[in-house]
Amino acid sequence: MEIDATVKSFGQKFPVKMKTQILPGKGFISDNESPKFGTSGHEELLLSERPEGTVIDYTYQVAIHKRWLRIVAQPLIGWFSMKYWQKAVIDELRKRLER
């Protein structure tokens, strides 16, 4: 499935093309391109059942194509964005699963 989305990052909106494969009962895999922002990424959210419960394995590999953006973005993506993402997604999922 192909999705044309708009994301907001660093206070600006950017178009993103997502080529996503839904894996029913297992998660999804998506290759994402944002030429205007100068990035692309490979994203996977995979679920697996274990005796202690469902394990969520999430990875998102980002490639920054614009040299100037790499210098600025690496610290932000490497720390700040990931901490925000953890709070907004992972911690929220954890709370819901613990209910």
pLDDT at residue 77, as a whole number = 67
Between residues 57 and 90, the one the model is more confident about: 57
**DSSP 3-state of 71:** helix
User: How many domains in the chain?
Assistant: 1
Q: Which domain holds residue 74?
A: 2-98
27: tokens are 């998660």
pLDDT at residue 47, as a whole number = 95
The single residue listed with the structure tokens 């953890």 is: 86
* Mean per-residue pLDDT, 47-61: 91
